[in-house]
Structure 1
Amino acid sequence: MAVLLRRYGYEVTRQTGSHMRLTTTQVGEHHVTIPRHGSLRVGTLSAVLSDVVEHLGISRQALVETLFGK
């Protein structure tokens, strides 16, 4: 997920245990914390996507298409 969010300027700013904090300065500074596991639970993925969509001011569909190519 961290690699995919690089498309929107997010970079890993710190890591604590099994979580990473990503930060972007696009459209103002924004932080999001994600688990470092290979797969995310549906609810966790949905929460991360909602947080990013709200910050960037784009549609959820546009974000999903950019990140996952659907």
Structure 2
Amino acid sequence: MNVLRKAGFWELKKGAKHIGMTNGKRKIIIPRHKRLNPYTLKGIIRDAGLTDKEFRDLL
């Protein structure tokens, strides 16, 4: 979540199990879990329009 905020995303909506975020152009839905499956994380990074390197640089 913090990485996505650094990338310019903000929260649209918080649900019990998911959080919706946007940067004005893209909308992404993130599960509210302490640990994410690597494939799920990879999908979130892709949906946010970030490369793996850009994501790691924002960490």
* Contact in 1 for aligned 2:10/2:21 (Cα 8 Å): yes
The share of aligned pairs that are identical, in percent, is 24
Which structure dedicates a bigger proportion of its chain to helix?
1
Q: Which stretches of structure 1, 4 residues or longer, exceed 4 Å deviation after superposition?
A: none
Q: CA deviation at 1:41?
A: 0.5
Q: Deviations over 1:10-47 (max 9, x none)?
A: 1111012210000112xxx2110001111111110010
Q: Which has the higher contact order (CA 8 A, sep 6+)?
A: 2
Cα distance between partner residues in 1 of 2:52 and 2:2:
19
Bigger Rg, which one: 1
Give the TM-score, by structure 2 length: 0.81
Matched, 1:65 2:56: yes
User: Which consecutive unaligned segments of at least 5 residues does structure 2 have?
Assistant: none
Aligned residues: 59
User: Which consecutive unaligned segments of at least 5 residues does structure 1 have?
Assistant: none
Give the TM-score, by structure 1 length: 0.71
